[in-house]
Amino acid sequence: MGAWTQLFPPSPHFTEAQTPSLAGKVFIVTGGNSGVGFELAKILYSKGGKVYVAGRSTTKIATAIDKIKAEAAKTASLTAGQLNSLIIDLGNLSTIAPCVSDFLAKESRLDVLFNNAGLSRQPPGSVTTQGHEIHMGTNCLGPYLLTKLLLPILTRTAESAPQNSVRVVFTSSGIIDMAGPPGGVSFAELGPGQHSDNMNRNYSGSKAGNWFLASEFDRRYAKDGIVAVVQNPGTLRTPGWNGTPWLMRAMMAPIFQPPKMGAYTELWAGLSPDIKSGDGQKFIIPWGRWNTTPKKEHLASLKSKEDGGTGLAIEFFDYCEAQTKEFAAC
């Protein structure tokens, strides 16, 4: 499936109607205070789940929680769950361990981690608090460390949860099929002062990196009952397009879809019974289906050199570990 079917997908087939009761289940949604994450948190809450809305701003999270509760009250929902806040800045690695410690002090299980938050279209030269290229640091290094620190509670949850139900969902983008370095990621462009001056290339590299992380987490932790997958939520009318020239926004307007449609993609990735261990090397596209024709260079990156690939995903996973290990103490 090429770019066309991702821009104009068929109707979603896994929505609120297909979502079972989530009572007793616990979820984290990064970026859950706006856009796709807000819509996803709203669905999970409406089905009885306990949802942790993770973001940078206490005020924005509180506003989002109040809005979700108010909308649920209008529908007289009898299955509403719980909503809680978590403070995290994925662009500052020093905030991630405290966030995890806060969560672990309150919970004994985690059913699905939705690594939904991210940023795009940041000016060349922009960096994170630790000096990493801002797309790579926020979209990959932060989610990597968050996932790593939550592995113990995910593993404990998997011991008693239904098989393949404990998951980590990473968020990619269709841009990886249209732009980006050969193979998905260029290590030569990750060092200080070596970042590309093309923001689309930087963004695409981070979104390929999300696929690499999903593939490696899925492969390395399948033995612990954890499933990791990646998804492209779709071309959506979200804050990520803020700052884009008005002419481009006008040209894109006919294909923009509301954020709720992207939430359906993530909902399928996180809850569909069709997903199982070993699916980390696949790519989910809107609004919840597999891309049957991914680029061959990306598939080669996912394979080890021993299996005939380039080993790029393994190398990238190890890069993320090296860059974040000093921030890993909870």
Active-site annotation, residues: 203, 207
Residue 162 to residue 203: CA distance in whole angstroms: 36
With residues binned 3-state (H G I as helix, E B as strand, rest as coil), the percentages for the chain, rounded to 5, are 50, 10, 40
Rounded-to-integer distance, Cα 239 and Cα 132, Å: 22
N-terminal to C-terminal alpha carbon distance within the chain: 42
- For the CA atoms of 120, 124, 126, 128, what is the dihedral angle to 10 degrees? 60
Distance CA 64, CA 54 (A): 11
Phi, psi dihedral angles at 71 (to 5 degrees): -70, -35
Residue appearing with tokens 């969902």: 169
Q: Maximum distance among all alpha carbons in the chain?
A: 57
